[in-house]
């Protein structure tokens, strides 16, 4: 990984939330780098501030201290915990929402979205409404809505947490496949250790609040197979054990 | 076969309900007439269906009936339009300026809990004893609750969807246009339905306080000269007007949400 591949570097990131009665320090001295085609996982106990990191990177939160260097013209997409599809819009209208708001809806971008819908088996549903789709399909629509803006980096905030256990596995396969196909760089926030190991090539473990980085692990599993297949590899359990012991209970 | 049975059953139920409703209505009317014509009740203070019809025909012959209906309708529709348009605009302004809302919130609560009819005399002194005052009273009665309803719905919009739009760098205007307004269409429409009823209440209240014509005037005048036939006729007309207006608003909403 050379320097030109570095997309984001975060240095000494600190963040506190304030209320009338107290100050809650959430992030403390978080530093890491993100490289092109990284699939970086961030895991830690719930409430530790994992999502805060994504909110800061995407620009939703602007009052923090620390330095964040982003590569010039870096486009960041964000996929939320739930699909957040608008029930009064069709699937197609939902996927072009970001384009419309950014005034980037033209024949090219329309074509691009329709192509994504075709590629990921949603084309025939494009004129249907969200309630007519399964949870997994809705999550794919949400991903396409994010991809429509052609982001370089995708931030995934517990993207499967609203799904049931069965769907969760198949959807993570789907989403993983789409992300690999589209050649994106990812930061995945999750509290699910298996999910992180099966999808990521690097995992940051955060401590309890105020979160610091406890450890960063490189996950060396075959990247050409699906997450559900990775779970069957021998090394999977080794990593699971390694990480599980590190997470604060 | 079972599906057909289901359809048959549903249709039969519908018919039973309609016939029962009509039966109750007609029985009550006939009972009222029967009791009145046989002097079981004093028709001088209860009036009777027959007398109501005669009164209405007389009003029609004197060329007054439609004038009164038209005046009340006009006042109600003007008040309804102003209330509906302004409550949406004010809700949007308050939603986009949280600080402003926090500042005026106690005043809104105060105004909301105040019986607006108490302001009637002041309004009449300020605006004069005319239709302007009636419309103003009607607006005052309906607008505060309408603003509160719409504003609260705006406030309760799914936070995750707002976050989603913010990840697209949406401006406040974008969020209003793409999310807040469309996701609260139902609440806005149902507040329109409430507004039309509230505005009619307001107009009648206003007409009770000051008027030269209108259904409220008919009722008030009737009671002052102890002409219960006129009072009952006014109430009967009012029932038809409020039902028609409600259905009309419903129809417009249905067509516009298609």
Express each pLDDT in A128-160 by its tens digit.
999 999 888 898 899 899 999 999 999 999 888
CB contact under 8 A, A82 and B168: no
- Say whether residue A75 is in contact with chain B using an 8 A CB cutoff: no
Q: Residue A98, SS3?
A: helix
Judgement on whether residues B125 and B253 belong to the same structural domain of the protein: yes
CA atoms within 13 A on the CB side of A247: 21
The two tokens of residue A136 are 């997994």
All residues of chain A having their beta carbon less than 8 Å from the beta carbon of residue B161 are: 84, 86
Express each pLDDT in A169-195 by its tens digit.
888 888 888 888 888 899 999 888 888
Q: Distance, in angstroms, between B157 CA and closest chain A CA?
A: 12
Q: Contact, B222 vs B231, CB < 8 A? A: yes
Judgement on whether residues B84 and B187 belong to the same structural domain of the protein: yes
> Which residue among A78, A101, A149 places its CB closest to the CB of B170?
A101
pLDDT at position A1: 44
Nearest CA in chain B to A84: B161
All residues of chain B having their beta carbon less than 8 Å from the beta carbon of residue A157 are: none
Query: In sequence order, which ranges of chain A are alpha helices (DSSP H)?
Result: 50-57, 91-95, 97-101, 107-119, 135-147, 165-181, 193-199, 227-230, 234-246
* CATH number, position B112: 1.10.3720.10
Cα angle, residue B29 at apex, residues B26 and B30 outer, rounded to 5°:
85
Q: Residue A188, SS3?
A: strand
pLDDT at position A3: 54
Judgement on whether residues B66 and B175 belong to the same structural domain of the protein: yes
Judgement on whether residues B114 and B37 belong to the same structural domain of the protein: no
Residue B24 belongs to domain spanning: 1-41
Backbone angles phi, psi at A70, to 5 degrees: -110, 145
Full-model pTM: 0.84
Nearest CA in chain B to A89: B182
- Say whether residue A151 is in contact with chain B using an 8 A CB cutoff: no
Judgement on whether residues B135 and B112 belong to the same structural domain of the protein: yes
Express each pLDDT in A27-76 by its tens digit.
988 899 999 888 999 998 887 888 899 999 998 998 899 999 888 888 99
Judgement on whether residues B173 and B251 belong to the same structural domain of the protein: yes
> How are beta strands A6-18 and A65-70 bridged, if at all?
antiparallel
Q: Is the predicted pLDDT of residue A4 greater than 80, yes or no?
A: no
The CA distances from residue B226 to A196, B51, B232, in Å, are 84, 14, 11
CB contact under 8 A, A82 and B160: yes
What percentage of residues in chain A have a pLDDT greater than 70? Answer: 98
Express each pLDDT in A199-225 by its tens digit.
999 999 998 888 888 888 888 887 788
* C-alpha A187 chain-centroid distance: 5
Q: Distance, in angstroms, between A127 CA and closest chain B CA?
A: 16
Indicate the Cα dihedral angle B170, B173, B177, B180, nearest 10°: 90
Q: Contact, B79 vs B203, CB < 8 A? A: yes
pLDDT at position A99: 94
- Say whether residue B165 is in contact with chain A using an 8 A CB cutoff: yes
Express each pLDDT in A74-122 by its tens digit.
899 999 988 999 999 999 999 999 999 999 999 999 999 999 999 888 9
All residues of chain A having their beta carbon less than 8 Å from the beta carbon of residue B164 are: 78, 80, 84
Judgement on whether residues B221 and B110 belong to the same structural domain of the protein: yes
Q: What does chain B look like in DSSP terms, one character per residue?
A: -HHHHHHHHHHHHHHHHHHHHHHHHHHHHHHHHHHHHTTSS-HHHH--HHHHHHHHHHHHHTT-HHHHHHHHHHHHHHHHHHHHHHHHHHHHHHHH-HHHHHHHHHHHHHHHHS-GGGGHHHHHHHH-SSHHHHHHHHHHHHHHHHHHHHHHHHHTS-HHHHHHHHHTT--HHHHIIIIIHHHTHHHHHHHHHHHHHHHHHHHHHHHHHS-SSSHHHHHHHHHHTT-HHHHHHHHHHHHHHHHHHHHHHHHHHHHHT-
> Which of B159, B162, B167 should be substituted to probe chain A, the one whose Cβ sees the most A Cβ atoms within 10 Å?
B167
- Say whether residue B178 is in contact with chain A using an 8 A CB cutoff: yes
Q: Contact, A66 vs A28, CB < 8 A? A: no
Q: Residue A28, SS3?
A: strand
Q: Per residue of chain B (258 residues), what is the pLDDT tens digit?
A: 688 889 999 999 999 999 999 999 999 999 999 999 999 999 888 899 999 999 999 999 987 889 999 999 999 999 999 999 999 999 999 999 999 999 999 999 998 899 988 999 999 999 999 999 999 999 999 999 999 999 999 999 999 999 999 999 999 999 999 999 999 999 999 999 999 999 999 999 999 999 889 999 999 999 999 999 999 999 999 999 999 999 999 999 988 876
Nearest CA in chain A to B160: A84
CB contact under 8 A, A60 and B174: no
Nearest CA in chain A to B173: A101
Judgement on whether residues B110 and B226 belong to the same structural domain of the protein: yes
Judgement on whether residues B7 and B53 belong to the same structural domain of the protein: no
CA distance A84 to A169: 20
Judgement on whether residues B78 and B121 belong to the same structural domain of the protein: yes
The DSSP 8-state label assigned to residue A211 in this structure reads: B
CB contact under 8 A, B161 and A97: no
Domain count for chain B: 2
pLDDT at position A44: 86
For chains A and B, what is the number of CB pairs under 8 angstroms?
A: 41
CB contact under 8 A, B164 and A88: no
Judgement on whether residues B19 and B56 belong to the same structural domain of the protein: no
Residues ≥6 apart with Cβ < 8 Å to B257: B185, B189
The DSSP 8-state label assigned to residue A3 in this structure reads: G
CB contact under 8 A, A86 and B182: yes
Judgement on whether residues B4 and B111 belong to the same structural domain of the protein: no
């Amino acid at each position: 990984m050379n320097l030109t591949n570095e997309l984001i570097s975060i240095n000494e990131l600190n963040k506190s939330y304030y209320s009338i009665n107290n100050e809650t320090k959430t992030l403390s001295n978080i530093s890491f780098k993100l490289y092109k085609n990284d699939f970086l996982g961030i895991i830690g106990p719930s409430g530790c501030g994992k999502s805060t990191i994504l909110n800061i990177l995407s620009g939703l939160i602007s009052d923090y201290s620390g330095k964040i260097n982003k590569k010039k013209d870096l486009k960041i997409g964000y996929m939320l915990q739930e699909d957040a599809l608008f029930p009064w819009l069709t699937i197609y209208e939902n996927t072009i929402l970001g384009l419309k708001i950014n005034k980037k809806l033209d024949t090219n971008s329309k074509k691009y979205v329709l192509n994504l819908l075709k590629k990921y088996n949603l084309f025939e549903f494009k004129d249907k409404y969200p309630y007519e789709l399964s949870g997994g399909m809705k999550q794919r629509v949400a991903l396409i809505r994010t991809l429509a803006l052609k982001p370089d980096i995708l931030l995934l905030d517990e993207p499967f947490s609203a799904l049931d256990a069965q769907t969760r596995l198949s959807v993570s396969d789907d989403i993983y496949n789409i992300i690999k196909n589209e050649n994106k760089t990812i930061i995945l926030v999750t509290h699910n250790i298996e999910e992180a190991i099966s999808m990521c090539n690097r995992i940051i473990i955060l401590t309890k609040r105020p979160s610091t980085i406890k450890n960063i692990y490189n996950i060396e599993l075959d990247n050409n197979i699906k997450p559900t297949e990775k779970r069957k590899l021998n090394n999977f359990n080794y990593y699971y054990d390694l990480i599980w012991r590190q997470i604060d209970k | 076969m079972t599906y057909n049975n289901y359809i048959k059953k549903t249709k039969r139920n519908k018919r039973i309900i309609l016939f029962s409703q009509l039966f109750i209505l007609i029985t009550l009317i006939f009972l009222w007439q029967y009791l009145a014509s046989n002097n079981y009740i004093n028709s001088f203070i209860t009036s009777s269906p027959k007398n109501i019809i005669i009164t209405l025909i007389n009003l029609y012959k004197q060329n007054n009936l439609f004038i009164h209906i038209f005046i009340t309708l006009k006042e109600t529709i003007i008040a309804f339009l102003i209330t509906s348009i302004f409550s949406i605009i004010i809700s949007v302004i308050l939603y986009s300026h949280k600080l402003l809302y926090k500042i005026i919130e106690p005043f809104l609560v105060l105004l909301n809990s105040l019986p607006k009819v108490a302001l009637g005399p002041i309004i009449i002194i300020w605006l004069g004893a005319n239709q302007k005052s009636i419309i103003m009273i009607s607006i005052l009665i309906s607008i505060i609750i309408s603003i509160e309803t719409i504003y609260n719905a705006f406030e309760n919009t799914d936070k995750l969807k707002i976050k989603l739009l913010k990840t697209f760098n949406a401006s406040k205007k974008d969020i209003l246009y793409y999310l807040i307004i469309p996701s609260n269409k139902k609440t806005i429409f149902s507040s329109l339905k409430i507004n039309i009823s509230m505005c009619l209440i307001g107009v009648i209240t206003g007409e009770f306080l000051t008027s030269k014509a209108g259904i409220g005037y008919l009722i008030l005048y009737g009671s002052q000269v102890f002409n219960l036939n006129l009072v009952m006729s006014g109430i009967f007309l009012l029932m038809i007007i409020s039902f028609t207006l409600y259905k009309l608003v419903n129809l417009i909403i249905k067509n516009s949400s298609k």
